[in-house]
Amino acid sequence: MASTCDSLIEDIEDMVSFSDPTPQERQSIRKSIIPRSRKKKELMCNEELQADSLIPGTQKIWMKTWGCSHNSSDGEYMAGQLAASGYKMTDDPTEADLWLLNSCTVKNPAEDHFRNSIKKAQEQEKKVVVAGCVPQAQPRMDYLKGLSIIGVQQIDRVVEVVDEAVKGHSVRLLGQKKDGGRRLGGARLDLPKIRRNPLIEIISINTGCLNACTYCKTKHARGDLASYPIEELVERARQSFQEGVCEIWLTSEDTGAYGRDIGTDLPTLLWRLVEEIPEGAMLRLGMTNPPYILEHLEEMAKILNHPRVYAFLHVPVQSASDSVLMDMKREYCIDDFKRVVDFLKERVPGVTIATDIICGFPGETEEDFQETIDLVKCYRFPSLFINQFYPRPGTPAAKMEQVPAHVKKQRTKELSQLFHSYNPYDHKVGERQHVLVTEESFDAQYYVSHNKFYEQVLVPKRAEFKGKMIEVDIYEAGKHFMRGQPVEDSKPFTPSIAAPLQKGEVSGLMQADFNT
């Protein structure tokens, strides 16, 4: 199901209020969402529907998602609604009747892959629906002509759009969701979804941000900050745990800014969520920019020390040069970033700080770049996302004087070599750790688990470990992982309060709703 839920979407045009019908109510009153394919089979046991049938809800759909965990969450919701309405999600693009492509606009290569996938689908005469940040930000691009589009806030209407696309119609939903004039965080959180990993729930706590970074195209798609109310987020977490989830990821374009538009803040939300987390289950906080986490450092340190919260924070610095940060309009100086890191390292022993760096931003001098090199040498970040600068169309940075391509490439290479010159986990060999096992490794040889600091620990692939908190002895360390041997006399602990859903099973609707 990896590719099935590999999709996402963004904002849309209908005006929705919280008094709207619930998904369960819509399931029974909206013809377009009745699982007609199942009823057909009941009435016509011996008759196969033809593959070229134009009856919506009978086709196979392949979904591909690029980009961040917010996109992944959107994709999971789209897959769930389509499956609940009778469509069959498939991992095989060749057998699909329609491709749902959920795009990312952060970098040129991601958009190139998206554009190439559209071309490939058209060559294979597949129906195409596009979603995500690319069409939301630039719906008039030539290669999107004639295609149906789901905006990033309109993912709750994916069934309508796909129904029309199946019939050969082009539909575009790109508006914002509002209630009483206030922009909402997006589609309802209680929609059906298919989790890519039944053990992990991804919750988007807000959309958009308060910044205006000069290189960012995502802002054009996701817009200004719009947060979900705390009660809705807490209820979503509660429901997830009732469906066997043992790990929750909070995601958004900037989690640190959460609540500023609705009179609350991130620590208030986190303390409420912590109350709902079962023993042994874990919460991972998503990316936060430095400006909005600065005023919450004391509370954030307490929260990251909580036994059911990973001591992990992703704080993108992008550059260690104040002049470059100013040109980026990042709204902080390098001392602000250092204050965040130093404070958390002191108050949360062992905390993992992940960061991002852009190499070759317009105007970056050798001296500027050297400051960034020095920052990495000082902090030796265990997780570092290195990005060569790509000018995104329509952004202020695209109009600035560019650093020559060969210089950008060389700086990216130099920083990558520095990052790979140190091993952050060597000193942990010999430690005994508790880890939560949630997934399978890419090579399918191990299970992947994480310790309190969200460091990756590979453990033996034994069925009884999946979804469990186990105790291991670390016997080997690599650049990005450790290997752990289960402690013999230690019994796996089950954090899930219910049996997890099966792979591909739809969350968010009672089974009775599918059969009515």
- Please check whether residue 259 is in contact with residue 231, taking contact to mean a CB–CB distance below 8 angstroms: no
Does the CA dihedral 453-454-458-461 come out positive or negative? positive
- Please check whether residue 434 is in contact with residue 460, taking contact to mean a CB–CB distance below 8 angstroms: no
* SS3 per residue for 171-188: CEECCCCEECCEECCCCC
Predicted pLDDT of residue 509: 67
Q: Measure Cα distances from 89 to 162, 232, 298 in Å.
A: 13, 28, 45
* Long-range contacts at 414-420 (CB < 8 A, ≥ 24 apart): 414/373, 415/357, 415/359, 415/372, 415/373, 415/376, 415/386, 416/386, 418/373, 418/376, 418/377, 419/376, 419/381, 419/384, 419/386, 420/479
Closest CA to 71 of 8, 153, 113, 157: 8
- pTM across the whole model: 0.83
10 Å CB burial of residue 244 (0-12, 13-18, 19+) is buried
- Please check whether residue 202 is in contact with residue 76, taking contact to mean a CB–CB distance below 8 angstroms: yes
Does the CA dihedral 140-144-146-152 come out positive or negative? negative
CA pair distance 251, 76, nearest whole angstrom? 14
10 Å CB burial of residue 45 (0-12, 13-18, 19+) is exposed
Other C-beta atoms closer than 10 Å to the C-beta of 69 total 19
Cα-only R_g, the chain: 23
Closest CA to 423 of 479, 352, 484: 479
Cα 422–Cα 450–Cα 472 angle in degrees, nearest 5: 95
Q: Where are the alpha helices (DSSP H) in 124-259?
A: 133-137, 158-166, 218-222, 230-242
CA dihedral 458, 459, 464, 470 (to 10 degrees): -90
Q: Which amino acid is at 473?
A: D
**For residue 125, what are the contacts with CB-CB under 8 A and spacing of at least 6?**
none
Q: For each of the chain's 516 residues, which pLDDT tens digit applies?
A: 444 433 333 333 332 333 444 444 444 444 344 344 434 333 333 334 344 446 777 899 999 999 888 889 999 999 999 999 999 999 999 999 999 999 988 887 888 899 999 999 999 999 999 998 888 888 888 999 999 999 888 999 999 999 999 999 999 988 887 777 777 777 888 999 999 999 999 999 999 888 899 999 888 888 889 999 999 999 999 999 999 999 999 999 899 999 999 999 999 999 999 999 999 999 999 999 999 899 999 999 999 999 999 999 999 999 999 999 999 999 999 999 999 999 999 999 999 999 999 999 999 999 999 999 999 999 999 999 999 999 998 999 999 999 999 999 999 999 999 999 999 999 999 999 999 999 999 999 999 999 999 999 999 999 999 999 999 999 999 999 999 999 999 999 999 999 999 999 999 765 434 333
Domains and CATH numbers, the chain: 60-176 (3.40.50.12160), 185-421 (3.80.30.20), 431-486 (2.40.50.140)
